[in-house]
């Protein structure tokens, strides 16, 4: 500023030769001052202008896609919905439509349009505010990537300088490619690929002229010209784009007329699948700690999972159909019986369902509840519930490991236990209701002395019964009989080896499924039996690939042989009987070998069925979140859960070959009398071909008087 003052002082000190000379000096001085001020202002404006060299390294926030086992998109993780495509995969109609509408001199100018800038400035002056307009594709790209979305003169100057630099450093094809992958199309969608998915449910290369024109038309204001909210405006914009393309000789009049007849999309195509929400959240919780939020939401990862949508979708639909019916049935039942509201759940009936691949542990389907939006609690993986009688196979496996065979006679008779302060102990000699009553009479009313008298659902006692038949009929007293003789600690050990992760209480009631377990644990443990005694951990992610195609992680199977193939087969063969003749007979409608087990927990708070083929293990659970008992007294796992489990599996298994569980070496089959467990005679009313580990088969013939 001192220089300016000195300059004007010098001019004032000049001899007054002529007015013209003084005027020239003053104009020159003013021009110098203006140039200095403009230079200082431009220096300040351009001081923080970014380098266009970074455009080579520019990586926008990319969408991470989640795929099922058949490479179908299940879901996406994103901040901005975006995918990057090379220009060669973007239809020429899309390129021409954008050029015709946004920048028809794109291949002629050097980054900016002086006429456009002047027109925009004039519009600003007329409206006394900053207005959009006059921007080339290069200018739009520069402000979209490098500049803040503010409307100021300073930003416009930066935009011009950046555009000039971009044009001098990149080819027109590179600029157009960046623009088409960067531009915003509304609904959080960026780039033509994601826009094609959103508006038309297809990939960009599959788009026709009408669709290309529609996308180009909504660029200036995606929300205002959206075909979903303003179909008339969208149709008009498409017409204007086609008209400009015709004027630029990109299309013919006939092509324009045909494209203009095409319908406008009425609703968004599902870029996201509306299915498997609980599964998607399940894998997000696994991957986010490993890769971080930014990588997961912006890194453009490809996550390939074990899920099979062809199993998942029907499972969701069928489960919901049945639970809606059960909700209605229970409501009518309460009305008819006039039951008080104290015992009625305030929530809706919930369900969970899991399918695992027996050989690998891959999760093929997972339902964590009825509506993810209403409740994000995943009942398949997080809900620890009583397993009820579905826990009994662990007791039966313990029996097999202790020398029992499917033909061993066990006792289904009354019994009673007392608690001595440290452990539950069987009251010796109390083998019928009369003797039990006498034994516990002295302790009635004594709060320090606890008595437990277990019973069966039907309140009946079958006496001596084979190990097989006790499992088929799900006899509680027989299960407790086995636990008492084997020891609850061994049952806990077997359950853990099979795949149960939770702590289990080693008490006699463990045989009734009083410990808490999750559905996925139970299905995983049953899979161990179906897999010949080899346990594989459930898993959900096959591999993760970054946006450059590099494999970041890949599933490596881990197997652990926990039981012999022979004992596993014996248990499976008995569990097949549950479906053929026992509590799970409803599943026999599938007309294929199924090994399974029903379950109902104490006070009917939980209903279960878990069933297996040689390839798949599937478990279904039903109950209330608040642990309320299911309202209808005759509801059991076999009568409620099993029907929708069966309908789901009927769909899932429809295209799969019918296979039976193969008997391993060391297994022999012998025809026995199913009542006595001894070798059958021609006079026996019923005969059963039973499996045994070689050397354990019965050698005594039936001596019963049939």
User: Active-site positions?
Assistant: 102, 389
**For residue 122, what is the enclosing H or E element?**
helix 114-127
Between the alpha carbon of residue 267 and those of residues 73, 201, 227, the distances in Å are 19, 10, 8
Whole-angstrom Cα distance, residue 134 to residue 502? Answer: 66
The bridge status of strand 64-67 relative to strand 302-305 is parallel
Which residues sit opposite 535 in a β-bridge? 560
Spatial CB neighbours of 141, under 8 Å, sequence gap ≥ 6:
163, 166, 175, 178, 179, 182
Q: Which two tokens mark 101?
A: 């509408």
Report DSSP letters for 603-656, one per residue: GG-EEEEEEE-SSEEEEEEEE-TT-PPPS-TT--TTTTHHHHHHHHHHHHTTTS
User: In DSSP terms, which residues pair with 452 in a beta bridge?
Assistant: 417
Structure tokens at 48: 């923080």
CB-based contact 298:65 (threshold 8 Å): no
Backbone φ and ψ of 75, nearest 5° = -165, 180
> 364 in helix, strand or coil?
strand
Residue environment code for 108-131, b if the CB has 16+ CB neighbours within 10 A, otherwise e = ebebbbeebbeebbeebeeeeeee
The 8-class DSSP code of residue 170 comes to S
- Tokens coding 390: 């579905």
Q: What is the 3-state secondary structure (H, E, C) of 235-260?
A: HHHHHHHHHHHHHCCCCCHHHHHHHH
d(CA 176, CA 179): 5
CB environment 398-408: b (16+ within 10 A), e (fewer):
bbbeeebbbbb
Report whether 483 contacts 415 (CB < 8 A): no
Using a 10 angstrom Cβ sphere, with 0-12 exposed, 13-18 middle and 19 or more buried, the burial of residue 659 is exposed
Q: Report the Cα 312 to chain-centroid distance in Å.
A: 10
Q: How many whole angstroms separate alpha carbon 681 and alpha carbon 685? A: 9
| N residues, the chain | 706
**Under DSSP, is residue 232 helix (H, G, I), strand (E, B) or coil?**
helix
Beta bridge partners of 81: 189
CB–CB of 652/634 below 8 Å?
A: no
> Cα separation of 427 and 442, whole Å?
13
Backbone φ and ψ for 265, nearest 5 degrees, come out as -60, 135
In angstroms and rounded to an integer, the radius of gyration of the C-alpha atoms of the chain is: 38
- φ/ψ (deg, to 5) at 82: -155, 145
Q: Which residues contact 327 (CB under 8 A, 6 or more apart)?
A: 348, 349
**Block residue for tokens 């300040």:** 44
Nearest CA among 598, 593, 650 for reference residue 619: 598
Q: Could you identify the residue written with the tokens 């443990």? A: 525
Token pair of 12 as six digits? 């004032």
**Distance (Å, rounded) from C-alpha 664 to C-alpha 146?**
68
């Amino acid at each position: 500023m001192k220089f300016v003052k000195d300059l004007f002082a010098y001019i004032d000190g000049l001899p007054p030769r002529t007015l013209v000379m003084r005027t020239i000096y003053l104009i020159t001085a003013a021009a110098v001052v203006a140039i200095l001020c403009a230079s200082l202002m431009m220096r300040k404006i351009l001081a923080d202008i970014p380098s266009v060299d970074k455009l080579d390294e520019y990586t926008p926030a990319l969408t991470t896609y989640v795929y099922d086992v058949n490479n179908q998109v299940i879901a996406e993780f994103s901040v901005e919905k975006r995918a990057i495509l090379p220009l060669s995969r973007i239809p020429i109609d899309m390129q021409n439509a954008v050029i015709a509408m946004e920048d028809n001199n794109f291949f002629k100018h050097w980054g900016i349009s002086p006429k456009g800038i002047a027109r925009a400035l004039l519009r600003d002056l007329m409206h006394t505010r900053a207005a959009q307009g006059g921007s080339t594709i290069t200018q739009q790209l520069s402000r979209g990537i490098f500049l803040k979305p503010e409307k100021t003169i300073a930003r416009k100057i930066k935009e011009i300088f950046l555009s000039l630099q971009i044009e001098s450093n990149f080819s027109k094809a590179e600029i157009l490619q960046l623009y088409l992958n960067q531009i915003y199309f509304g609904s959080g969608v960026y780039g033509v690929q994601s826009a094609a998915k959103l508006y038309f449910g297809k990939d960009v290369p599959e788009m026709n002229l009408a669709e290309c024109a529609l996308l180009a038309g909504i660029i200036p204001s995606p929300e205002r010209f959206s075909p979903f909210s303003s179909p008339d405006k969208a149709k008009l914009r498409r017409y204007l784009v086609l008209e400009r393309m015709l004027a630029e000789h990109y299309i013919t009049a006939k092509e324009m007329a045909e494209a203009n007849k095409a319908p406008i999309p009425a609703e968004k195509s599902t870029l996201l699948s509306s299915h498997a929400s609980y599964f998607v959240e399940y894998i997000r919780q696994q991957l986010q700690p490993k890769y971080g939020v930014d990588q997961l939401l912006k890194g453009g990862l490809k996550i390939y999972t074990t899920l099979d949508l062809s199993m998942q979708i029907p499972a969701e639909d069928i489960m919901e159909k049945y639970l809606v019916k059960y909700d209605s049935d229970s409501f009518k039942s309460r009305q008819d019986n006039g039951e008080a509201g104290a015992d009625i759940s305030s929530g809706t009936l919930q369900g969970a369902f899991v399918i695992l691949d027996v050989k690998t542990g891959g999760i093929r389907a997972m339902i964590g509840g009825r509506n993810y939006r209403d409740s994000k609690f995943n009942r398949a993986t997080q809900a620890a519930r009583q397993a009820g009688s579905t826990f009994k196979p662990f007791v039966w496996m313990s029996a097999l490991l202790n020398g029992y065979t499917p033909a061993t006679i066990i006792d289904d008779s009354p019994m009673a236990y007392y608690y001595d302060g440290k452990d539950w102990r069987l009251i010796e000699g109390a083998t019928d209701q009369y003797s039990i009553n006498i034994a516990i009479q002295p302790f009635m009313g004594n709060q320090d002395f606890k008595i437990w008298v277990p019973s069966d659902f039907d309140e009946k006692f079958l006496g001596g019964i084979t190990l097989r038949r006790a499992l088929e009929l799900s006899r509680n007293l027989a299960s407790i009989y086995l636990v008492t003789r084997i020891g609850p600690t061994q049952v806990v050990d077997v359950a853990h080896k099979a795949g149960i992760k939770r702590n289990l209480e080693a008490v006699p009631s463990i045989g009734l499924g009083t410990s808490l377990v999750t559905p996925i644990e139970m299905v995983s443990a049953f899979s161990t039996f179906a897999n010949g005694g080899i346990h594989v951990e459930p898993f959900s992610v096959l591999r993760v690939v970054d946006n450059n195609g590099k494999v970041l992680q890949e599933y490596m199977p881990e197997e652990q042989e926990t039981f012999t193939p022979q004992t596993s087969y014996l248990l499976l063969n008995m569990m097949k009987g549950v479906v053929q003749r026992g509590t799970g007979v409803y599943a026999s409608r599938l007309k294929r070998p199924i090994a399974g087990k029903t379950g109902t927990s104490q006070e009917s708070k939980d209903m279960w069925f878990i069933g297996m083929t040689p390839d798949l293990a599937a478990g279904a659970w039903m109950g209330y979140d608040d642990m309320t008992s299911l309202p209808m007294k005759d509801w059991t796992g076999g009568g409620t859960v099993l029907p929708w489990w069966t309908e789901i599996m009927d769909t899932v298994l429809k295209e799969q070959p019918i296979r039976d569980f193969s008997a391993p070496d060391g297994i022999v089959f012998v025809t026995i009398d199913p009542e006595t467990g001894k070798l059958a005679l021609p006079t026996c009313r019923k005969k059963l071909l039973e499996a045994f580990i070689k050397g354990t088969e019965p050698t005594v013939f039936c001596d019963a008087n049939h």
